[in-house]
Amino acid sequence: MKRTPFVAIKILVSLGLLCAVTHNLTADALATKSEPIHTDVQQKLSGKIIFSNTPKAINVYQAAELIQGFELNSSKNLYFNAVLDQPLTAYLQELAPELSAEEANKIGNYQFTFSVDGSLVYTENLNLAAGLSAEKSSHKVLTKPLFSEANEDSWGRFLWMRFMHFGGEQAMTEGVHILKIEIRPYVKTADIKIGKIIAAGEISVQVVRPKATEQQIAIQPIQASHDWVISKDSYNKDLIRAMNKKIAEKDFKDISSVVVIKEGALLLEEYFNGSERASLHDPRSVGKSFASTMLGIAIHEGFIQSEKQTLSEFYPLKNYQNYSAQKANVSLKDLMTMTSGFAGDDSDSASAGNEENMYPTSDWVKFTLDLPMQNPTTPAKEWSYFTAGVVVLGDVLQKTVPQGLEAYAGKKLFAPLGITEYQWQYTPQKVANTAGGIRLRALDFAKYGQLYKNGGSWGTQQIIPADWVKASLAKQVARTEQKDGGHYGYLFWNDTIQSGQQSYEVAYASGNGGNKIFIFKDIPLVIVITATAYNKAYGHPQVAQMISDYILPAVLTQTSGGG
């Protein structure tokens, strides 16, 4: 069944001053040199935020291009343009006169506040790494997307999504609202100093929420499948209907499928937003877990000796840049547990080894092996999410298993599971990409999860060694970004999920957009959720809410519910 509810959210922007402007504005918004504001028009614009659906220099905007009304959907853009009296660095130095421009840029940035109908909803001090130092020192017009069809990797988009997630959605109920955005400078010295407002603007927001139909809410009947026995267990249908309603009405966004396996049988199979049983889903970094799977099989069959083998056993590391003994001693296990010590952190845009720096290069393995170590003289075991290291694991497999990684995975994993429909993405060297992106049907991702739930067996065949499965799902290392006990295994995450009064330990594969394969430790459940909320702040949190508030309480109950 296909579900494609329509969303229409119109944003009407109050721009009385700008609508009266019929001639070109005369300052270059994106100038690389700081110049004084000269014209009367710019004097009036100073300190204001204006809105557009395309990013342009202020001096080339025509009055008709300034946003009067806006329909919010995936194919529309909204940019804000904040016109400042002076570059951010000057404001930061007013707060901390003792600092040089370089020092101020390192410990200061913009603060944004969002108010709805006169009430403060969300405040954020931008991450210190957001924005280039040169821009902070020279630009007097700040232009960023709040949302755009390109889904570019911009802090403006992420800022908007965090505002919507942390109160914006709740504040902007159906109807008309006034949204006000204010920008201030801040510096973080011994304490945080906040400056005066340097730009502000208001928009009138008309929100029309989609109304779910009974067809969209209804639990979808499970068609016969040769792959799965269909469960006869009861569950709370009211909760699943409530979840479906939230998906249809875009409270949970961009969800494409939900599959629940209970005690090895198919209990729930739901598709949304145009997806169906035959759809191949792109779960991004869920594919990393498959690298761990194939490494375990390759070790068991003797093509690789052990996960303790080091990079120096597979590569002439002295032929790469930044050679060190520490790099030579990085093990395959270190790469799987994200504790290699390479100067690579995907959560830090300034990190040399950030995955976004890898993708444009012609050789991803060389990119990785050329990287320096984070602390060249100190063996490092701190956790840091490092996609490039998983690419190297894939390359090691490619070099060592018969006929290469893709053929080996087809023979040793997919064929025994009866998985025939799948697509790999590839590195520039045409190697199956273990950074992520392997596409399968939702039911086949469920097979993969159930394989781990079974301890590596499927039917009468032991596909993955049981001890490898146990090690993969275990709490190998503590995650430094998680202060409440989160851990990481062999390219699997490990957490505790709270649902009602109960806590449940779960290992899971996870990918950008909210894609998950949950393998619960002490209850007989495997849950797959696929989604397309790529690079959106709500992607993972909404899936956590779906699991905690709807799916777990529904399928662990003995009451069938209504409907």
Cα 68 to chain center, whole Å?
A: 31
DSSP state of 312: G
Q: How far apart are CA 187 and CA 10, in angstroms?
A: 36
Q: 40-44, 47-51, 203-207, 235-239: which has the minimum mean pLDDT?
A: 40-44
pLDDT band at residue 391 using 50, 70 and 90 as cut-offs: very high
Residue 378 has pLDDT above 80, yes or no: no
Percent of the chain at pLDDT exceeding 70: 88
What confidence tier does 24 reach under pLDDT thresholds 50, 70, 90?
very low
Does the domain spanning 214-278+441-555 belong to CATH 3.40.710.10? yes
Q: Quote the pLDDT of residue 40.
A: 54
pLDDT for 485 equals: 66
Confidence of residue 39 (pLDDT cuts 50, 70, 90): low
Asked if the model's pLDDT at residue 516 lies above 80, the reply is: yes
The answer on pLDDT for 429 being more than 80 is: yes
Q: CA 509 → CA 280, 381, 398, 493, 504, distances in Å?
A: 17, 22, 22, 6, 16
* Listed range (110-124, 429-443, 472-486) with the worst mean pLDDT: 472-486
Of 347, 341, 387, nearest in space to 367 by CA: 387
- Decide which of 59 and 189 is more confident: 189
Does the structure show a pLDDT above 70 at 389? yes
Exposure on the CB side of residue 522, measured as CA atoms within 13 A: 7
Least confident interval from 8-22, 141-155, 346-360, 487-501? 8-22
As a whole number of angstroms, the distance between CA 258 and CA 551 comes to 9
Range scoring the smallest mean pLDDT among 28-32, 144-148, 253-257 = 28-32
> Which run of H or of E encompasses 534?
none
Domain boundaries, the chain: 8-208, 214-278+441-555, 287-400
Higher pLDDT, 207 or 362: 362
How confident is the prediction for the chain on average, in pLDDT?
88
Residue 48: pLDDT band with limits 50, 70, 90: very high
Looking at residue 119, its pLDDT comes to: 97
What local confidence, expressed as pLDDT, does residue 476 receive?
Answer: 97
- Output the six-digit token pair for 289: 């877990």
Q: What is the pLDDT of residue 60?
A: 77
Between 482 and 133, whose confidence is greater? 133
Q: How confident is the model at residue 167 (pLDDT cuts 50, 70, 90)?
A: very high
Q: Do the Cβ atoms of 91 and 139 come closer than 8 Å?
A: no
C-alpha 447/C-alpha 414 separation (Å) is: 10
* 319-326: average pLDDT: 96
pLDDT the model gives residue 561: 39
Residues with Cβ within 8 Å of residue 25, at least 6 apart in sequence: 39, 41, 42, 45, 58, 59, 61
Q: What is the band of 382 on the pLDDT scale with cuts at 50, 70, 90? A: confident
**Above 70 in pLDDT, residue 77?**
yes
Q: What is the DSSP string of 49-62?
A: EEEESS---GGG--
Q: Indicate the pLDDT class of residue 42, thresholds 50, 70 and 90.
A: low
Given a cut of 90, is residue 21 above it in pLDDT? no
Position 299 pLDDT exceeds 80 = yes
For 293, how many CA atoms within 13 A lie in the half-sphere containing its CB?
Answer: 25
* Range in 70-74, 216-220, 307-311 with the lowest mean pLDDT: 70-74
Distance between CA atoms of 288 and 489, rounded to whole angstroms? 12
Q: Is the pLDDT of residue 441 over 60?
A: yes
Residues 67-94: what's their mean pLDDT? 84
What six digits make up the tokens of 33? Answer: 């040199």
518: helix, strand or coil: strand
Grouping H, G, I as helix, E, B as strand and the rest as coil, residue 460 is coil
Q: Other C-beta atoms within 10 Å of 560: how many?
A: 12
With cut-offs at 50, 70 and 90, classify the pLDDT of residue 190.
confident
Percent of the chain beyond pLDDT 90? 73
* pLDDT for position 26: 31
pLDDT at position 323, please?
A: 96
What is the reported pLDDT for 252? 94
